[in-house]
Amino acid sequence: MKNKFSLVAVFAVSTAMLFSCTKEPLNNLTNEESRIYVTNSDSTINFGSYKTYSISDSVAVLDNGQSYKDLNDVDKAYIDAVNNSMQARGYTLVSKDSNPDLGIDVNRIYNTTTGYIGYDDYWDYYGGYWDPYYWGYGGYGYYIPSSFGIYQVTEGAISIDILDLKNANTKGKIDVIWNGLIRGEGIFSVNNAASNVGALFNQSAYLKTGN
């Protein structure tokens, strides 16, 4: 299968990294500027040959190796946003029992990593962040003992898969013919669902049905 791959990181990410004078330019990004939109599709597919679709009424939550179904307000907002985008491209929503050409899954993904940080390294990296003069000891230096701390970071993402149900029987399998991935701050927000899904569809102009 040949894939067509697109990635859009908001332009401010690159400009901030090039021109900012701060030590941590990414800390100055807004939530919107931090988001990354990735799409991947089968370049051999004629998306215009599909007319109907069905979308799952809940999301699959993939949480550090565990999976389950869920439906909260954010999930509903993403499902509604996908419906609106698909219908704007000319596709017709039908029930899953009506032999839809396409099936759509929305997924919520979490991945937690654990590591440690050495505070002596942290001190060296940031060049010292306490001022001896504040405490009345001008000219004094600080000593920080060698130690470390454990931390955990949880990253989240929204993934949308479009499945080829029309040709499943012929091929003997269900192919994922399009995938969109959203990462960044504020993605699990009802208010941001429509714009996030819209960004994926904006970089997938080929995703539309024929007349």
Record the pTM.
Answer: 0.73
pLDDT (tens digit per residue) in 128-141? 555 556 555 566 55
CA distances (Å), origin 24, targets 19, 38, 56, 126: 12, 24, 41, 10
In a domain, 183, yes or no: yes
In a domain, 145, yes or no: no
Residue 150 pLDDT: 66
Residue 153 pLDDT: 72
Report helix, strand or coil for 45. Answer: coil
Extract the residue ranges of the chain whose pLDDT is less than 50: 1, 5-26
Residue 60 pLDDT: 92
Residue 88 pLDDT: 97
Look at the chain and report how many structural domains it folds into: 1
What CA–CA distance (Å, rounded) separates 34 from 197? 15
Q: What CATH number has the domain bearing residue 48?
A: 3.30.160.670
User: Of the candidates 149, 172, 176, which has an alpha carbon nearest to the alpha carbon of residue 162?
Assistant: 176
In a domain, 209, yes or no: no
In a domain, 14, yes or no: yes
pLDDT (tens digit per residue) in 57-76? 999 998 887 888 999 999 99
